[in-house]
Chains A and B, each alone.
Chain A
Amino acid sequence: MTVRDLIPVLVLVGLAALLPLVVTASPVLNFLVFMLIVALGAQGWNILGGFGGQFSFGHAAFFGTGAYATAILQLRWGVNAWAGLAAAVAAGGAVGWAIGFLSFRSGLRGSYFALVTLAFAEVFRILANAAPLTGGAAGLLIGLDVRPANLQFADRAVFYWLVLGFVAAVLVLTRWIQRSRFGAQLVAVRENEDAAKALGVDSLRVKLRAIALSGAVTALAGGLYAQYFLYIDANIAYGGWISVELLLAPIIGGVGTVFGPVVGALTLHGLGEVAKQFAGRIPGIDLIVFGTVLVLAVAFARGGILGLLERLRDRGVGMLPPSAKSRTAKEVPNAGR
């Protein structure tokens, strides 16, 4: 991987980093941080679902594990928050590997695999809702103690930069996957597992690496969520809502692409927020927007927004250079209509 490969990442992240200098209102920053956390979790989903073709309906299992690991380690054992976050990443990887081991080794694929992940997330949710360790139905409250060493900052912008930094790191990681042997083998398994095996690809190992990596990244998002909002319960951390978010963002942005999950999260939440501003009194308007965007994406933009842009470019309509793809991404839902 050369520096040239990373220029789009650097440019976009650099621009995004300037945002808190322009907007300082807390609600806006809260919104941006939340959106980035979803984007980060979705990047995790994309490693397994996008590159590996193993669609998970239960990535909440990893998000929640990360959130609970961060919170529990601090609250029950007084572990430092940063160390807690690192442990959350490890826990996410381990849970991913374990779920992968159980399901891939027994040859589960496609909708069966999706259902098994959903089941794991549900079981975790029910357990977390009952167990004393996780605070039961009352959830866990991380005490307010604003110190950088505690991973709590007086200025919301700092947390925004922190999450943005992680998103950038995973963009680089994803780019690396795309250009590596591991990535080529993972995509090969997605496209045709038997053909991949015949070419010497250890498909089980490749899938296990992918799900562990995927779980680790999504757990990082969960840990950051817990640390920013300082409260989690089973329905937040292991809830179906997050599984859906993490799956929708890449599908809408472009599965198996580097920027897809980020573009998708931005589009979904951007449009949802705009809709709320204009039709705030209608409850659930953002969900209607989610649904509409999803239907549009599936009907008109196989391969998501980035896929659509690529096709427009190939047809010479947009005349976009590759690096301009994501910059213009937000305009596309209108173009699709």
Chain B
Amino acid sequence: MLVVDSVSKRFGGLMAVDGASLTVTPGSIIGLIGPNGAGKTTLFSMISGFIAPTDGGIRFEGADITAEEPHRRAARGIGRTFQIVQPFAGLTVCENIAVGAYLRHAKRADAIARARAVAQRVGLGPELDRPAGGLTVAGRKRLELARALATEPKLLLLDEVLAGLNPSEIRDIIPVIRGIRDEGVTILMIEHVMQAVMTLCEHVHVLAQGRMIAEGPPAAVCADARVIEAYLGHGAAARLAAEGAAHG
């Protein structure tokens, strides 16, 4: 449903994303991993329309959306969360989510009802009438997820929704994400928490220094020498293999 065709983004002298390609098929949870500064968030921003690619194209359900505005893409069914959470701090949790719900429900009563249902779903039910500015980190992450979900997306881009959560909070939210997929929402998620990537994703893409260096099932990708080197530095794979042989 989503085809990213060798897109690049240059910030001055820095190639943040360098000819990255990616295909997302409907109904899956796909992971996007890579070391810090690899260009993952930049790639998401290009898919959701906040940053224009320097080069390359993006297609969604057959339509070329490379130059389309973010709100048009949201209307098409691309929802995103922000790695750095962006709550409407002066509004209540319910009002925050309702803004998303208004995309498909023009009537206030419908939008509010939808917002409440989504809040319940992600575990924000008790916080509905609290100001969003007063939420904890975990609460804000849930709010990001809830707002995006309220737009009733076909494709949901999750940018590190688990970062900053403690292990029990992560355990709580993993079934929620899987549940969203089970309802037919395709998910593309950036995640550093490998445990979550392993349990959730069927397929993983690895971005390093702006380039796609590997893809495949999570277990295979984690064993890939190029991936280990990208994370741990040049020669790391060989060192690990040698150590493994010595101990084995």
Contact = CB atoms under 8 A, between A and B. Distances in A.
Interface residues of A, number: 19
B80 A198 contact: yes
Contact of A200 (B89, B98, B103): B103
Contact of B100 (A179, A199, A202): A199
B103 to A, nearest CB: 4
A202 B82 contact: no
B100 to A, nearest CB: 4
B91 interface: yes
A200 B151 contact: yes
Contacts of B79: 198
A20 to B, nearest CB: 37
Interface in A154-207: 179-181, 184-185, 187-188, 191-192, 194-203
Interface string B48-88: 11100000000000000000011100110001101000111
Contacts of A195: 82, 86-88, 147
A150 B226 CA distance: 83
Contacts of A185: 99, 102
B111 interface: yes
A180 B98 CA distance: 11
Contact of A184 (B48, B50, B90, B95): B95
B108 interface: yes
Chief secondary structure at chain A's binding surface: helix
Contacts of B100: 199-200
Contacts of B95: 184, 187
Point out which of A180, A199, A202 has the most chain B C-beta atoms below 10 A from its C-beta: A199
B102 A191 contact: no
Contacts of A197: 49-50, 69-71, 74
B75 A200 contact: yes
Contacts of A192: 86-89
A199 B80 CA distance: 8
A194 B86 CA distance: 8
Interface in A273-311: none
A180 B110 CA distance: 11
Nearest to B109: A179
Q: Which of A191, A201, A202 has the most CB of B within 10 A?
A: A191
Most A C-beta atoms less than 10 A away, residue of B90, B102, B106, B151: B102
B148 interface: yes
Contact of B71 (A181, A184, A187, A201): A201
A135 B191 CA distance: 67
Interface of A: 179-181, 184-185, 187-188, 191-192, 194-203
User: Which 10 pairs show the lowest CB-CB distances between chains A and B?
Assistant: A200-B74, A191-B88, A200-B103, A195-B86, A197-B70, A188-B99, A199-B100, A181-B102, A202-B71, A192-B86
Given A197-B50, A198-B148, 8 more contacts: A184-B108, A187-B88, A187-B90, A197-B71, A198-B70, A199-B100, A201-B99, A201-B103
